[in-house]
Homo-oligomer: A and B are copies of this chain.
């Protein structure tokens, strides 16, 4: 289609491969050798690809056998936003400022650097969700969520005690050291079925996506509410989906009001990403916000996977137009640094050192986030992701109508490139895609989820659609 080329933007990475290039089976001979070496000291059963990061560029990941794959797994499980070996990031990494941050890693809670306020203001805070101006920095999504839970528990207990000025009782102090109530209170965090929030002991108790994450690990007896399981296509199931969402909300209300360990917070992903790309409507989330307000339960929005532009908004929860902002928003992955935002300064505990740890983040990673944000702004990547997402979604709509048994429950309309569909032959399709140079991932039971980077353009979408059609065509 030469005629349409005029509307195509010039590529962000002019030296990127023009197509996937596959020379060997994956892993090839060099890949196998590398796995063998690594297997001596680490478990390699999850390894997909031995990567040559020097050769990877833009949307293309290179492996050690000279293969180039179009990476729509949002590189590194949704963690590389602006392309492999992005020059702007390279420049930021090769500075005295970065080297200083790497070699003199501070304990930020005790010895912050003189420029930490400036670094945070020009990075993490610059993109803070509307209504939230406080941040607690962490290292990864899982500990960001756990620190948010701790904030929620401390906040609730402070309210129950009567305010920040009320001292801990002797009984609380004594029992906390014994891991008993009231010091270690009988409270909970509520999450949703098929949600994913991490794999540490607190977060794993709220993760409900797959048994493989949870088996054999002791868990808190915390509650899960039903997440709406919408019917597709949405336009044909409007009333049924309204009913489904209303029922899910009434499940939330039932748990909040009756569960034996009262939830002091609800955590929810804007799109359940590990659990199968499950969406709900803005109405549902507005209803959830109303319920949490009504019952004085904090609303924690887990944007670890959805944040930073991929849905066509910087934060996915911007799609909801909430009347009041969430109480807490957590982030990680594409931000390269992690933590949680909040607005209510009462979420600062009543005493110092309660929400605290040695490093409390990593300034080197925060400097990288700053460079990522600058690059997103320079190239206007959030808006462009919204557009290319619409284009890609239309392409999948065509595939869904041509191959209704292969592309099922297509979802993500108007959600940038955060697109997914159910695929009855999912694992075969993913394997075949890899063989022809598309690095694509699954989630939930049988979903294929797309996670292109923010530098994914129309010409990449064309390749992706063309290859997927070849694979699924009978």
Give chain A's interface residues, CB within 8 Å of chain B: 30, 34, 37-38, 40-43, 45-54, 56, 61, 64, 76-80, 84-86, 89-90, 92-94, 98-107, 109-114, 116-118, 120-121, 125, 133-137, 139-143, 146, 149-150, 153-154, 156-158, 168, 172-173, 176-177, 179-180, 183-188, 198-203, 205, 208, 211-222, 261, 332-333, 336, 348-349, 351-359, 364, 368
Contact = CB atoms under 8 A, between A and B. Distances in A.
7 contacts: A47-B109, A53-B101, A76-B111, A141-B358, A176-B217, A177-B208, A200-B200
A26 B146 CA distance: 33
Contact of A112 (B38, B56, B156): B38
B90 A98 contact: no
Contact of A77 (B48, B110, B117): B110
A106 B51 contact: yes
Interface residues of chain A: helix, strand, loop or mixed (majority): loop
Given A180-B221, A201-B202, A50 B113 contact: yes
Contacts of A157: 215-216
Given A100-B54, A105-B80, A143-B200, A41 B112 contact: no
A418 to B, nearest CB: 17
Nearest to A174: B211
A41 B125 contact: yes
A197 to B, nearest CB: 12
Contacts of A203: 201
B105 A359 contact: no
A212 B76 contact: no
Contacts of A34: 112, 114, 116-117
Given A185-B218, A220-B201, A348-B43, A357 B142 contact: yes
B77 A41 contact: no
Contacts of A100: 53-54, 85
